[in-house]
Amino acid sequence: MGEVILSGAIRSNLIALQRVTSLMEAVQNRLATGKRVNSALDDPTRFFAANALNTRASALNSLLDSMASAHKTMESVNASIEALTGLVESAQSVATQALGSAGTTATYTGSVAGFTVASAITTSAGTDTFTIQDGLGNTATATSSGGFITVQQILDAVNNHATLQVKAQLTTDGRLQFQATGTNVITRGGAASSSEKLQLGLADGTTAAGTLSAARTSLATQFNQIRTQIDQLANDSNYNNVNLLTGGSLSVVFNEGGTSSYTIAGATLNSAGLGLVASTNAFQTDKDINDSLTKLTAALGTLAAQATSFSANLSIIETRQGFTEGMIETLNAGADDLVLADINEEGAKLLVLQTQQELLTTALSLAAQSQSSFLRMFQ
């Protein structure tokens, strides 16, 4: 078969029509994908720049999930501290009730008021002694030094004795007071003279044994149960395998390179960490109850301070979350600016190309008809 020869007009129109069709395909692809750069072949500079921005946005988005988890951890911690605070306040209420309940064990209160722990009296001898016995073979001895003895020395001699079943304290009006921890007597004595003891409001003698207070024993049991709940709550304050209330820590990474991070140090907020010990001597003495109340007040202060610290940590995480979300949005927008097509512009281009296609098709038809007419002249 011989080669088909096209006229110059037909060939020119055909080439133009092919070019328009190719352009239409490109425009239609942009309209279909919404992108003017779909591969490196379209525009390598824009394609790889947009790809780098999208890659970083994706990496930051993964870190955002980690930040959200850390945020939830901190919310859980704050809720746990609120619950712990409630338990400590309940224990405080129980101890206050115990203090308001009259003790029934042997109690001796001095006759002289107005003492502080720093108060002192003079003694005639350099080493005069003041003794407290519990009738169980245990004796606490306070010895004067340098011709005087302080109230603190007497308190320490009694309260620091390992086995003595007596506790000593100052009453609210500043009187020396001794209370038996159980059903034992309290005997006062020592080599100091009666006048020296009288300066302290004390007199030799024995206070008969009393009985255990059932009310205080019951309240001591309640106190210990609340203390157990404090331990259990602290141990249960676990979120995503992280417990910041039993000494754990939480690290949060803020950038894709791992060079920006923040570590939140936990605290031990169980009973041991808060300095809360089980009720001593079943709360039979005011001294033991007051010691517990002092520890409870300190525990509340510790919880409040730790809550403030954790709130500051939470604020940092929230700030970095907001920053990262904004950065992701900026990166995605930057990538879109590089590769997204202007739909309106592309639509207008397609309309123009369709018009050109119709005109070229008509022109091609006319050229073909012209050639056919010319050939009929030779028939």
Confidence label for 1 from pLDDT (cuts 50, 70 and 90): very low
Separation of alpha carbons 256 and 324, rounded Å: 11
Range with the poorest average pLDDT among 15-29, 33-47, 296-310: 15-29
Top-confidence residue, 129 or 3: 129
Q: What digits encode the pLDDT tens for the residues 92-148?
A: 999 999 999 999 999 999 999 999 999 999 888 667 899 999 999 999 999 998 889
Q: β-strand 129-133 against 186-189: which pairing, if any? A: antiparallel
Confidence label for 54 from pLDDT (cuts 50, 70 and 90): confident
pLDDT at 301: 97
Nearest residue to 304 (alpha-carbon basis) of 7, 32, 124, 78: 78
Top-confidence residue, 215 or 332: 215
Residue type, 199: Q
By the 10 Å C-beta count (0-12 exposed, 13-18 middle, 19+ buried), 121 is classed as buried
Residue 205 burial (CB count, 10 A): 10
Q: What digits encode the pLDDT tens for the residues 41-52?
A: 667 887 788 888
Buried b (16+ CB within 10 A) or exposed e, 2-37: eeeeeeeebeebbebbeebeebbebbeebeeeebbb
E strands within the chain?
107-109, 120-122, 129-133, 139-143, 148-150, 166-170, 176-180, 186-189, 205-207, 249-253, 261-265
Q: What digits encode the pLDDT tens for the residues 157-188?
A: 999 999 999 999 999 999 999 999 999 999 99
Tokens of 217: 């024993």
Q: Which domains does the chain have, with CATH numbers?
A: 58-101+215-331 (1.20.1330.10), 107-211 (2.60.40)
Q: β-strand 261-265 against 166-170: which pairing, if any? A: unpaired
Q: What digits encode the pLDDT tens for the residues 183-226?
A: 999 999 999 999 999 999 999 999 999 999 999 999 999 999 99
pLDDT at 59: 87
pLDDT at 24: 65
